[in-house]
Chain A
Amino acid sequence: MPYQHPLRRIEPGTHPELFYPDYRSTPSRAPSQPLVSLAQGAREITVVAPPRELLTPLDADLTRQSVAPPLGERIVVSGRVLDEDGRPVRNSLVEIWQCNAAGRYAHPGDQHDAPLDPHFAGRGRTLTDDAGEYRFVTIRPGAYPWRNHANAWRPAHIHFSLFGNAYAQRLITQMYFPGDPLLAFDPIYQSVPAAARERLVSSFDPELTRPEWALGFRFDIVLRGRDATPLGL
């Protein structure tokens, strides 16, 4: 279904400020000039999802991508991708990546003193269904240290990449876990305006939990919705 409408302006107080010195790598990379508003154009164009044949069910199960299961607590991570008006974002690509249970990424740049798991690559992808729902099976990631400041640790998190149905719905974010004491100390999480911050924290969900198999965490994602006012009026 072509996306006919321009997208609504982003609600102020949603996204972090780009220049946020507590996150030490922003001063050299954050743009200094104000963003230029574009009245129309890119926002209106539909994004086509990859053909379903390109993805397999195992792409969404990070515990079954090797010859043996990874170490760690198996979890189900699921939710709905909606727009601001509650409309499901259907047939859209969702990608995730994360470190392993020990807090180590399968990436050559990560030299943290924690073991790699030969059975965990830490990446998955899926398409949302007709209700906008996605579902991954993975293991709970560990916290890991980083050199932003003394004794800095990232809270456990899963990286999410979403395409939505329209180009300007594109979003990369991180999902956190409820009750994590590290959230209060994490500049990346704290960079989000206070009223919006908790939207990044998943909820423990007994309904998603499968007895004797995996805990479940729900994480709904809300993308930009349609602009009710037609252009020019």
Chain B
Amino acid sequence: MSGLTPSQTIGPFFLEGLRWAIDGSPRDFGVSVVRVTGCVLDRDGEPVPDALVEIWQPALAAWAYPGARLPGFQRVDTRQGGRFEFWAEEPRGVSTFADVTVFARGLLNGLFTRVYLPAGDDPAATPVPSAVPEARRATLVARRCETHPRTYEWNIRLRGDDETVFFDL
């Protein structure tokens, strides 16, 4: 039937258009959550300060606090030196994951990825999809932060060393 509408880059000036729903603030999600913090990095390991990161977690979609902008989504930007921060369901005995999309100037299409939060102390035991090459599995697993409680760290490397796995959904 009709051809799919092609993608184009989000460009550098999306903030005014999308900021109404930018919200990474803590709130009562109805499930126990932890903080995930990290940086979007380019080929050279430099921060990308004009990216948009959207986090989709159906487990958190059941909540509907007054004024919820995009139910189930958190939308955050990387203005602060390429850094982002969001909330994910706490792994309690079983690992959890969140679906993540990344948009930025220089990306002609949105990128789909995932971040897994390991349940135990062995990130290798996290059920990353088997289609992911063994050598790249670690790029999808957040690490517990040693200095801050209830905090995990995970970077999104767009290109280069330890490039994050992106999916064709």
Q: Are B106 and A26 within 8 A (Cβ)?
A: yes
Chain B binder among A69-77, A126-134, A216-224: A216-224
Q: Are B7 and A84 within 8 A (Cβ)?
A: no
Chain A binder among B27-35, B84-92, B116-124, B157-165: B157-165
Q: How large is the interface on A (under 10, 10 to 19, 20 to 34, 35 or more residues)?
A: 35 or more
Contacts of A109 in B (CB 8 A): 12-13, 50
Q: Are A110 and B71 within 8 A (Cβ)?
A: no
The distance from the CB of B165 to the nearest CB of chain A, in whole angstroms, is 5
Given A18-B107, A26-B106, A122-B16, verify A36-B8 contact (CB < 8 Å): no
Contacts of B17 in A (CB 8 A): 95-98, 122-123, 159, 161
Q: Are A36 and B7 within 8 A (Cβ)?
A: no
For the complex, give the distance between the alpha carbons of A195 and B48 in Å: 32
For the complex, give the distance between the alpha carbons of A171 and B101 in Å: 10
A1 at the interface (CB under 8 A from B): no
Question: Which label, helix, strand, loop or mixed, suits the secondary structure of the A interface?
Answer: loop
Q: Which of B8-49 contact A (CB under 8 A)?
A: 8-18, 20-21, 42-44, 46, 48
B50 closest partner in A (C-beta): A109
Q: Which of A180-233 contact B (CB under 8 A)?
A: 188-189, 191-193, 195-197, 199-200, 220-225
B104 at the interface (CB under 8 A from A): yes
Q: Which of A88-143 contact B (CB under 8 A)?
A: 93, 95-99, 105-107, 109-110, 121-123, 125
Interface size on B, residues (CB 8 A): 65
**Pick from B15, B21, B159, B169: contact of A28, CB under 8 Å:** B159
**Pick from A32, A85, A123, A192: contact of B159, CB under 8 Å:** A32
The distance from the CB of B155 to the nearest CB of chain A, in whole angstroms, is 14
For the complex, give the distance between the alpha carbons of A44 and B70 in Å: 18
For the complex, give the distance between the alpha carbons of A42 and B140 in Å: 15
Q: Are B165 and A223 within 8 A (Cβ)?
A: no
Contacts of A105 in B (CB 8 A): 13, 16
Residues 53-85 of chain B, each 1 if its beta carbon lies under 8 Å from chain A, else 0: 010101001001001111110000000000000
Contacts of B158 in A (CB 8 A): 28-31
Q: Are B108 and A31 within 8 A (Cβ)?
A: no
B145 at the interface (CB under 8 A from A): no
Q: Are B111 and A31 within 8 A (Cβ)?
A: yes
For the complex, give the distance between the alpha carbons of A32 and B157 in Å: 11
For the complex, give the distance between the alpha carbons of A30 and B167 in Å: 14
Q: Which residues of B contact A (CB under 8 A)?
A: 1-18, 20-21, 42-44, 46, 48, 50, 54, 56, 58, 61, 64, 67-72, 99, 101, 103-112, 114, 129, 131-133, 136, 158-160, 163-169
With contacts A35-B167, A170-B101 known, what are 13 further pairs, Cβ within 8 A?
A7-B169, A15-B6, A29-B107, A38-B169, A50-B69, A93-B70, A97-B16, A99-B13, A171-B110, A172-B8, A173-B8, A199-B4, A221-B5
